[in-house]
Amino acid sequence: MPPIQYTVAVRELCEFAAKQGDLDLRFTPSPTAEEGRAGHKTVASRRGPSHRAEVAVAGAFRELVVRGRADGFDDSKGLLEEVKTHRGDFELIPSNHRALHWAQAKIYGHLVCQQFGLSKLTLSLVYFEIGSECETPLTEHCTADELRQVFDALCMRFLDWAQRQLEHRAARDASLLSLQFPHAAFRTGQRTLAESTFRAATLGRCLLAQAPTGIGKTMATIFPLLKAAPQERLDKIFFLTAKGPGRALALDAIDVLRRSRPSISVRVIELVARETACEHPDKACHGGSCPLAKGFYDKLARARGAAAGLETLTRETLRKVALEHEVCPYYLSQEMVRWADVVVGDYNYYFDSAALLHGMTRASEWRVAVLVDEAHNLVDRARAMYSADLEAHVVRAVFKTAPVALRGPIGKLKRAVDTLAKGQEDAYKAYEEVPQRLTASLKDVSAAVSEHLATGPDAVDPDLLRLYFDVLRFVSLGESFSTHSLFDVSRSSQAGKARRARDATLCIRNVTPAPFLRPRFASAQTVVLFSATLSPHHFYADALGVPDDTAWLEVESPFTPDQLDVRIVSDVSTRFNHRQRSLAKISRLMATHYGSAPGNYLAFFSSFDYAEQAFEEFNRQHPAVPVWCQQRRMDGKERAAFLARFVHDGSGIGFAVLGGAFAEGIDLPGSRLVGAFVATLGLPQVNPVNEEMKRRLDLTAGDGYGYTYLYPGIRKIVQAAGRVIRTSDDRGHLFLIDDRFGRPEVKRLLPAWWRMQTCTSDACRPISPSRTRQPYAASEGDGAAGALQASEVLCSSSTMSFDSVTPSDASSSAPGAKATNSPA
């Protein structure tokens, strides 16, 4: 059923229709959310008994329903208050911000007049300064008729947009009802994943899905969610990725759907990082500096209208529209999120602490479905999002150049950092809590710099600003500090006390992001997290904090054991102390195997040092074999050159680092890659930080070794090994070189379809070269589009629909899947 009304919050209405003038993102210190809430409470507590706070109001204008909560209303005085908290001089609040605040006050004024049958009202815009707790009230007396006119004018401006949204929504839903799978048939395992995704959406549950590479996971998740969108009244689908290539896959998948069914009406937007979209990286985001910020809101309606005429807004198309209308492409993309049905962007946009998509979802009460691509990356990415550090040398440097007014608090912070660092004998130490003296000095610096910035200084030292942001982050994470995080101090040297104080780094280090991510999962109708490597699933469920009723799906591999010859080489240890001794054996093993089965190979090692040593040893012993080695900090061109050496039917060995750029997310089908040597168990380095994480995870999850070392390590092995077999036509070899691969607890974590044999480095039965060469069938293309086209050839029926799927359980019981409810 298409919606017949469009509901909008007062704030959203005003931000859409009442903003004027320049985009101005000059840094103005604003109160934190906590301070804002406290400020509102303080104001309310100063009012008399007839004052009512947080009054829910709603009204309509044709198809538009406008609703919100007025900050304060006193019936006996006919007084409506709109409270705004700020920091610093009231006069420094930009006039266009004040105009927006007045617009909000007047919209609330109209809704209150209507709701309470008033003919006039006194509006008071109360600015509350956080530091001094002083109020600056601005007052206007308005008749109900005047307020209605403001309401009508803003609604009229919004209505055109809202009506188009409603029309599009009806057309979108009608077109999606007849959406069909774009290929003749599903690939093995693809249907299972698609059905489970559909069921998860219809049941409003989350799904953790492990599905092998090559089954078309992107299409298997986007297609069912689009299919489910009309009946589940989904407003938006967010496709979130860890890296750029994932975004391209999602955009390609929607392109394929459109080409197979031109009548479908789905709007798509790609969000990229500010650094990528910015046209003037040397300028600041305000009208006085950047020409694309000048008059941004005055030009926005036309730019928005032009962008809305397209079906897909990629980085390139958005840029074109934005430049034609002389507005910033990055901020135009944020405005267009409201317009889109599918938003493709980085994890940050939904999971970070101030994430745009999550904020909009909450504010607009959207029903959203979230797809998390390559979800194994989310654990580390989320840990980084909820960690903060503070470097002693930055505090010292800023102290030396700080304005006089800031020297006191920054000096206090410097002393607090010094005391911690000098008093610590060990190079690394974790503390039970963030010391109170440090917390107090951090808060003082935060308040003092805020005051300073609020005076509108002509120029701000970038180092001071950097310290300020570090401090804000530290304070914010310090307030939520708990067993999910560590507070630690590390130093790079054991030198004297003065040196220790200089090179110390203080860190709030998130270990378990679950408490931060839980509300993100709760805000969505469904979240589907998928990857080829999500084992063991309880590790990901615990670390990410997915809801208790999250379903677990393991899609069986479409590949067969005879496609991959897996050898565990049991007489080599790649432990740190044994590496030197391992080089000759590894080199001999590789040469022997390569001699009997030549082709392109990747050889993975635990570090650059180890890879370089192995590369040199091999090159010295076997100079006739073409070899090339990954270098530290390769740029895009160098990475492409490394991969370009893997030509069809070529021969040679590329040495690389496990967990690096060539161990995940690269596609070398057919004879471009016939095997891999993995000379490491992939375990993260044993160091004081990891040992502390292990201790903490022992306490909180009961499996410190698994959660810190084993599971992340084996995941990297499986990802790297996954480069060898990309299609059902591929055949290849995999050598797992370390005695520990033979342990049952390690074997258990390796893919069930691998048939492993154990051998020694000098007795691995040579394999016929003909076996290596013969079965490869060259792929049409290496990228996403190629993979999807290949699927069209494979498929034989295009009539798949989900009509028969019963929403009994989000876990699939279809053949080709193992499904259980997660014990998370």
Instruction: State the minimum distance, in angstroms, from the CB of residue 322 to ligand SF4.
Output: 9
Separation between Cα atoms, residue 435 and residue 426, nearest integer Å: 17
Instruction: State the minimum distance, in angstroms, from the CB of residue 338 to ligand SF4.
Output: 19
Beta-bridge partners for 488: 430, 507
Which secondary structure element, helix H or strand E, spans residue 435, and what is its range? none
Beta-bridge partners for 70: 55
Does the footprint of ligand SF4 cover residue 290 (CB under 6 A)?
Answer: yes
Residue choice 292, 343, 392, 734 for contact with ligand SF4 (CB under 6 A) = 292
Type of residue found at 95: S
Going by C-alpha positions, the residue among 141, 115, 82, 106 that lies closest to residue 17 is 106
Residue choice 238, 330, 521, 601 for contact with ligand SF4 (CB under 6 A) = 330
- Tally the C-alpha atoms within 13 A of residue 85's C-alpha that lie toward its C-beta: 21
Of 43 and 328, nearer to ligand SF4 (C-beta) is: 328
Cβ–Cβ < 8 Å for 818, 192: no
Residue 36: both structure tokens together = 């804002």
Bond from prior residue into 712 cis (ω within 30 degrees of 0): no
Does the footprint of ligand SF4 cover residue 278 (CB under 6 A)?
Answer: yes
Instruction: State the minimum distance, in angstroms, from the CB of residue 348 to ligand SF4.
Output: 16
Of 52 and 274, nearer to ligand SF4 (C-beta) is: 274
Rg (CA), the chain: 30
Of 333 and 557, nearer to ligand SF4 (C-beta) is: 333
Does the footprint of ligand SF4 cover residue 583 (CB under 6 A)?
Answer: no
Residue choice 147, 266, 285, 477 for contact with ligand SF4 (CB under 6 A) = 285
Of 27 and 705, nearer to ligand SF4 (C-beta) is: 27
DSSP state, residue 556: P
Separation between Cα atoms, residue 378 and residue 390, nearest integer Å: 24
Of 206 and 278, nearer to ligand SF4 (C-beta) is: 278
Q: How many CB atoms lie within 10 A of CB 658?
A: 25
Does the footprint of ligand SF4 cover residue 322 (CB under 6 A)?
Answer: no
Length of the chain: 824
Of 284 and 306, nearer to ligand SF4 (C-beta) is: 284
Cβ neighbors of 713 (< 8 A, separation 6 or more) are 681, 682, 683, 684
Separation between Cα atoms, residue 155 and residue 302, nearest integer Å: 17
Does the footprint of ligand SF4 cover residue 297 (CB under 6 A)?
Answer: no
Separation between Cα atoms, residue 715 and residue 710, nearest integer Å: 8
Instruction: State the minimum distance, in angstroms, from the CB of residue 286 to ligand SF4.
Output: 8
| Listed ranges 54-62, 240-248, 323-331, 653-661: which one lies at the site for ligand SF4 (CB under 6 A) | 323-331
Going by C-alpha positions, the residue among 70, 63, 81 that lies closest to residue 8 is 63
| Listed ranges 261-269, 287-295, 506-514, 745-753: which one lies at the site for ligand SF4 (CB under 6 A) | 287-295
Q: How many CB atoms lie within 10 A of CB 445?
A: 29
Instruction: State the minimum distance, in angstroms, from the CB of residue 770 to ligand SF4.
Output: 58
Spell out the alpha helix ranges (H) of 207-314: 217-232, 244-260, 274-277, 296-308
Residue 6: both structure tokens together = 């469009």
Instruction: State the minimum distance, in angstroms, from the CB of residue 287 to ligand SF4.
Output: 9
Does the footprint of ligand SF4 cover residue 780 (CB under 6 A)?
Answer: no
Enumerate long-range contacts of 139-144, CB under 8 Å, 24 or more apart: 140/102, 142/106, 142/109, 143/119, 144/110, 144/113, 144/114, 144/118, 144/119, 144/120
Residue 152: both structure tokens together = 């009508």
Residue choice 41, 62, 141, 280 for contact with ligand SF4 (CB under 6 A) = 280
Q: How many residues bind ligand SF4 (CB under 6 A)?
A: 13
Does the footprint of ligand SF4 cover residue 590 (CB under 6 A)?
Answer: no
Instruction: State the minimum distance, in angstroms, from the CB of residue 99 to ligand SF4.
Output: 20
Instruction: State the minimum distance, in angstroms, from the CB of residue 281 to ligand SF4.
Output: 7
Separation between Cα atoms, residue 122 and residue 731, nearest integer Å: 79
The mark string for 69-108 relative to ligand SF4 (x by CB under 6 A, - otherwise) is ----------------------------------------
Contact set for ligand SF4, span 331-360 (CB under 6 A) = 331
- What DSSP letter does each residue of 738-804 carry, written as one string? SGGGGSHHHHTTS-TT--EEEE-TT------HHHHHTT----S-SSHHHHHHHHHHH-------STT
Of 290 and 489, nearer to ligand SF4 (C-beta) is: 290
Going by C-alpha positions, the residue among 121, 42, 115, 110 that lies closest to residue 79 is 121
| Listed ranges 220-228, 290-298, 709-717, 718-726: which one lies at the site for ligand SF4 (CB under 6 A) | 290-298
Q: How many CB atoms lie within 10 A of CB 385?
A: 18
Helix 404-422 and helix 436-454, axial crossing angle in degrees, nearest 10: 160
Instruction: State the minimum distance, in angstroms, from the CB of residue 297 to ligand SF4.
Output: 12
Instruction: State the minimum distance, in angstroms, from the CB of residue 291 to ligand SF4.
Output: 8
Instruction: State the minimum distance, in angstroms, from the CB of residue 452 to ligand SF4.
Output: 23
- Tally the C-alpha atoms within 13 A of residue 454's C-alpha that lie toward its C-beta: 19
Of 345 and 732, nearer to ligand SF4 (C-beta) is: 345
The mark string for 112-151 relative to ligand SF4 (x by CB under 6 A, - otherwise) is ----------------------------------------
Instruction: State the minimum distance, in angstroms, from the CB of residue 24 to ligand SF4.
Output: 10
Which secondary structure element, helix H or strand E, spans residue 343, and what is its range? strand 342-346
Of 288 and 626, nearer to ligand SF4 (C-beta) is: 288
Beta-bridge partners for 120: 143
Separation between Cα atoms, residue 346 and residue 238, nearest integer Å: 10
The mark string for 256-275 relative to ligand SF4 (x by CB under 6 A, - otherwise) is ------------------x-
Q: How many CB atoms lie within 10 A of CB 299?
A: 16
Residue choice 240, 328, 343, 534 for contact with ligand SF4 (CB under 6 A) = 328
Of 285 and 602, nearer to ligand SF4 (C-beta) is: 285
Instruction: State the minimum distance, in angstroms, from the CB of residue 59 to ligand SF4.
Output: 35
The mark string for 11-50 relative to ligand SF4 (x by CB under 6 A, - otherwise) is ------------x---------------------------
Does the footprint of ligand SF4 cover residue 293 (CB under 6 A)?
Answer: yes
Does the footprint of ligand SF4 cover residue 279 (CB under 6 A)?
Answer: yes
Separation between Cα atoms, residue 380 and residue 385, nearest integer Å: 9
Instruction: State the minimum distance, in angstroms, from the CB of residue 385 to ligand SF4.
Output: 21
| Listed ranges 327-335, 465-473, 588-596, 707-715: which one lies at the site for ligand SF4 (CB under 6 A) | 327-335
Of 23 and 589, nearer to ligand SF4 (C-beta) is: 23
Instruction: State the minimum distance, in angstroms, from the CB of residue 15 to ligand SF4.
Output: 17
Instruction: State the minimum distance, in angstroms, from the CB of residue 26 to ligand SF4.
Output: 11
List contacts with ligand SF4 (CB under 6 A).
23, 274, 278-280, 283, 285, 290, 292-293, 328, 330-331
